[in-house]
Structure 1
């Protein structure tokens, strides 16, 4: 029987799991695939050389990263597009500054006190999980778009970092990202009303009371 010489990377794959299934090691796979410089970051849709046969192609620059790296400060894998780890890069940033910085595809017209959906949409777009047509500055519209595209409700135990957390709070809609667990407790990150003037900054928290977690099609 001819050994499989390559593997097409899929969502949820990790280099260690691929190595185990192939009877290899992470170091051996990295040696065969020099385009992989970080064993915790591989790319969905690219081909991984397992040994023998023709060499696999290098990672396509348009491929979507699988975030197998743990979100800093959590013990959960940042799968599901790595939107949570993207969000974490902006912790403490005032949303008014962020939306005009060009670092994320945020809509600049949104008032500084209601940017939760604007921020979550931008992180999902930046991660390659959704395109611009699926994002929205409206929580209800974003939820409708995602559910219409097959996102499904999951339990907290089955949630992945980067999943979207929807809630009603004080009669208003709010949305943040699930960012894994720390010391057994769930962590959330988003654009929250934490400033004394009622405007938003990127912070931990934002989920309280009853909430719904939705995840992309798996």
Structure 2
């Protein structure tokens, strides 16, 4: 029921462009060698969070391939969180799940489980807050989805983040350097960059109306 233009492509500079409106949402600023993070959702009765929302919280990072390295592309996001919300959030786009997926891709929105009194729990949202453009991440392509669905690929993001869930208490000048300046990582060994990139997010969902398929081609 939606247009068949809802995909991303790389322009001549390696930037990531959302096809429907040809907006550059992530600007390529470099590349590094980084450790391969084997990320999956936890198995068992608590494996799926979000119920009918079908968004999955990454609560288990199993670095079974520790010591295995890959190449990651460093990208700087071009929109603030508020700009992305106005442009792509579900409530602003006529219930278009593809545009809402762009918002996820920009803000890393996913549901997390919070325990209370060791028993009860509630699902809450995590959204990375950008107070200005230029927050960086390292993107790596994977040939599986985080829910182990063989028909979907995924994009993993490694990034430094010191802001709390919905405010900016950790946005000190010292911390902002690691969140916004790619030169901190360029030319460094993985043993250094892995330590600095303290968050991981996975973008895929085989049960929503969108997931990733990597294929060669052009925007035309």
For the superposition of Structure 1 and Structure 2, which TM-score range results when normalised by the shorter chain? under 0.3
> Which has the larger strand fraction?
2
Q: Which has the larger radius of gyration?
A: 1
Length-normalised TM-score, structure 2: 0.23
- Output the TM-score relative to the length of structure 1: 0.23
